Amino acid sequence: MNDTGAKIAQYTVTVVVLLTLNFFLPRMMPGDPLSYLLGEPSADAPMLLTEEMRANLLAYYGLDKPLLGQYWDYLGGLARGDLGWSIYYNAPVGSIIMGRLRWTLLLGGTAAVIYIALGIGLGAVSAWRRGSKSDVGLLLTVFSLGSWPPFFLGMVLIVFFSYQWGLFPIGGAQSAQAARIGGLRQVQDVAYHWVLPGLTLVLTYLPGIYLITRNSMLSVLGEDYVRTARSKGVLESLVLLRHALPNALLPIVTTVAMRFGFMIMGTMFVEVVFAYPGMGTLIYEAGAARDYPLLQGAFLVTMIFVLALNLAADLVYGWLDPRVGRERA
């Protein structure tokens, strides 16, 4: 019980510190949220703010108040579950983030499930058949895939699958028609639009999981208990699944949890290349625009995500490896 209490306290302190940093760090960057509204160089922004309008707007968004007052407002809003109003996007921060997060979870989440399952499977097979043709073949393929810059991989897929062969759309999350028709048509269309960006993510992140699994498996396969199981005449496949893999998974759990945590930013390059909605570009744009409320909200969500996964990894670890729990007891 004490142990759990300490854990909760630890996480609470982390959250408070992060919330505070979250508020002050964006405000320490040079420039303010009005810089980007009308000014970023582009051919289509004809309007400039007069100094009078700037002052009006700063007041409208409460940015002319003392910093501590703003901090207090921010905490008060959070307590009420109100993330604030985005200055650049001119909409509630909560709804902007939810709108984007859905797509990130769909794109990054499904891709993660695929590359993790595939990475673990292939890594285990590779280690089991160490030195064989299939192991060397896999290793080479994975290494060469892993050395491609991810956005370049995405562009290559577009050039061939969309431009040359016309098999998949060049980008977007769904077509305008499907979005309005809804139902099964929409599901099909979303899946169809998922293929290229999803494939890019899978190919990009697969090598990491594969290599960790392979290494971890190789060390486990050399252990005494595996040799014992084999010498007892246990079926090869059972040795792999029951004895070797569960133990090899320990270091993988940490990696996977971290991967999931950083998924929010990790899909950014794919979002850019495929014009796919998501959190990565949102956070990038919020930073560029110094959109304080949106930055705070987005970081908060990312933070909760990372912390929750850390917690989950802690728990899974304890369950996979009983020694972890025993040491603490």
| Binders in 272-291 for other proteins, by CB under 8 A | 272-275, 277, 281, 284, 288-290
Interaction between residue 169 and other proteins (CB under 8 A): yes
Q: Which is nearer to other proteins, 148 or 284 (CB)?
A: 284
Q: How far is CA 57 from CA 6, 23, 54, 242, 274, in A?
A: 45, 20, 5, 64, 34
Q: Which is nearer to other proteins, 100 or 243 (CB)?
A: 100
User: Of the ranges 28-36, 209-217, 225-233, 258-266, which one interacts with other proteins (CB under 8 A)?
Assistant: 28-36
The contacts of residue 105 (CB under 8 Å, 6+ apart) are none
Q: Which is nearer to other proteins, 127 or 201 (CB)?
A: 201
Interaction between residue 35 and other proteins (CB under 8 A): yes
- Provide the minimum distance between the beta carbon of 31 and other proteins in the complex, in angstroms, as a whole number: 3
Interaction between residue 106 and other proteins (CB under 8 A): no
Q: Which is nearer to other proteins, 11 or 192 (CB)?
A: 192
Q: 175, 188 in Cβ contact below 8 A?
A: no
The 179-198 site mask, x for binding other proteins (CB under 8 A), equals: xx-------xx--x------
User: Of the ranges 68-76, 85-93, 251-259, 319-327, which one interacts with other proteins (CB under 8 A)?
Assistant: 85-93
3-state SS string over 266-278? HCHHHHHHCCCCC
CA distance 198 to 253: 22
Interaction between residue 260 and other proteins (CB under 8 A): no
Residues 111-150 that bind other proteins (CB under 8 A): none
- Provide the minimum distance between the beta carbon of 160 and other proteins in the complex, in angstroms, as a whole number: 9
Q: Binding-site residue total for other proteins (CB under 8 A)?
A: 73
Place of tokens 């399952």: 117
β-strands 85-86, 91-92 pairing: antiparallel
Q: Which residues in the chain belong to E strands, given as ranges?
A: 85-86, 91-92
CA distance 254 to 251: 6
Q: Which is nearer to other proteins, 51 or 224 (CB)?
A: 51
User: Of the ranges 8-16, 23-31, 68-76, 240-248, which one interacts with other proteins (CB under 8 A)?
Assistant: 23-31
- Provide the minimum distance between the beta carbon of 19 and other proteins in the complex, in angstroms, as a whole number: 23
Interaction between residue 93 and other proteins (CB under 8 A): no
246-273 per-residue burial string, b: 16 or more CB within 10 A, e: under 16? ebbbeebbebbbebbbebbbbbbbbbbb
Helices assigned H by DSSP within 50-182: 51-60, 67-79, 93-104, 110-128, 133-146, 150-157, 176-181
- Provide the minimum distance between the beta carbon of 252 and other proteins in the complex, in angstroms, as a whole number: 29
Q: 179, 277 in Cβ contact below 8 A?
A: no
- Provide the minimum distance between the beta carbon of 98 and other proteins in the complex, in angstroms, as a whole number: 9
Residues 190-249 that bind other proteins (CB under 8 A): 192
Residue 289, classified by CB atoms within 10 Å of its CB into exposed (0-12), middle (13-18) or buried (19+), is buried
Q: Which is nearer to other proteins, 7 or 180 (CB)?
A: 180
Which of 142, 173, 245, 303 is close enough to bind other proteins by CB under 8 A?
173
User: Of the ranges 52-60, 63-71, 242-250, 306-314, which one interacts with other proteins (CB under 8 A)?
Assistant: 52-60
Which of 47, 68, 79, 184 is close enough to bind other proteins by CB under 8 A?
47
User: Of the ranges 17-25, 33-41, 198-206, 239-247, which one interacts with other proteins (CB under 8 A)?
Assistant: 33-41
The token pair at 5 is: 């209490």
CA distance 92 to 294: 9
Strand partners, 85: 92
